[in-house]
Structure 1
Amino acid sequence: MKFYDKGFIYKYKDYTQVQIFTAGTAVLDMKIYEDKVCRSTFKCQDLKTFNKENLSSTYSDNFLKELFERNEKEVIHRDTENGILIKIRRD
């Protein structure tokens, strides 16, 4: 998955929602729960499977949720071994 556009991170009681837009069209709408990740395609995966297929099986189950819930102005996760770069910049 590669995205370089604007998006929104919403924190709710039971999940964190990440939406990314290109030219006003949502290209990613993902809800991250304590035990699963669901995308707008109605496909949900347990965290371990999501990490294995999209990130790395070496990542902890709660990696993605913790990453998006950080309250820092800029979050950068660089994993050269697995070819993963995640940058989050908050306005």
Structure 2
Amino acid sequence: MKFYDKGFIYKYSDYTQVQIFSAGTVVLDMKIYENRVCKSTFKCQDLKTFNRENLNKSYNEMFLKNLFDKNEKEVVHRDKENNILIKIRRD
């Protein structure tokens, strides 16, 4: 998955929602729960399966949720070994 556009991160009591837009169209709408990830383009997956298929099987199950739950202005995760770069910049 590669996205370089603007988006929103919404934090709710039981999940975090990530929406990314390109030219005003939603290109990613993902809800991250404690035990699963749900995207509008596929059924929900447990976190381990999501990591294996989209990141790397070595990633901790809570990696994605913890990454988006950080309240820092800029979050950068660089994994050169697996060729993964995730940048989150908050306005």
TM-score calculated relative to the size of structure 1: 0.98
RMSD: 0.6
- Counterpart residue number, 2:4: 4
Unmatched 5+ stretches in structure 1? none
Q: How many residues align?
A: 91
Q: How does 1:62-77 map to 2 (within 5 A)?
A: 62-77=62-77
Partner residue, 1:79: 79
What 5-or-longer segments of structure 2 have no aligned partner?
none
For 1:76, the aligned partner's letter is: V
- Kindly provide the CA deviation profile for residues 23-71 of structure 1, in whole angstroms up to 9, marking residues without a partner as x: 0000000000000000012511000000000001000000000000000
User: For 1:43, what is the secondary structure of its paired residue?
Assistant: strand
TM-score normalised by the chain length of structure 2:
0.98
Match of 2:13 in 1: 13
- The CA distance in 1 between the partners of 2:55 and 2:78, in whole Å, is 11
Which residue identity lines up with residue 66 of structure 2 in the other structure?
A: E
Match of residue 27 from structure 2: 27
Does the alignment pair 1:48 with 2:76? no
After the TM superposition, list the runs of 4 or more consecutive aligned residues in structure 1 that deviate by more than 2 angstroms: none
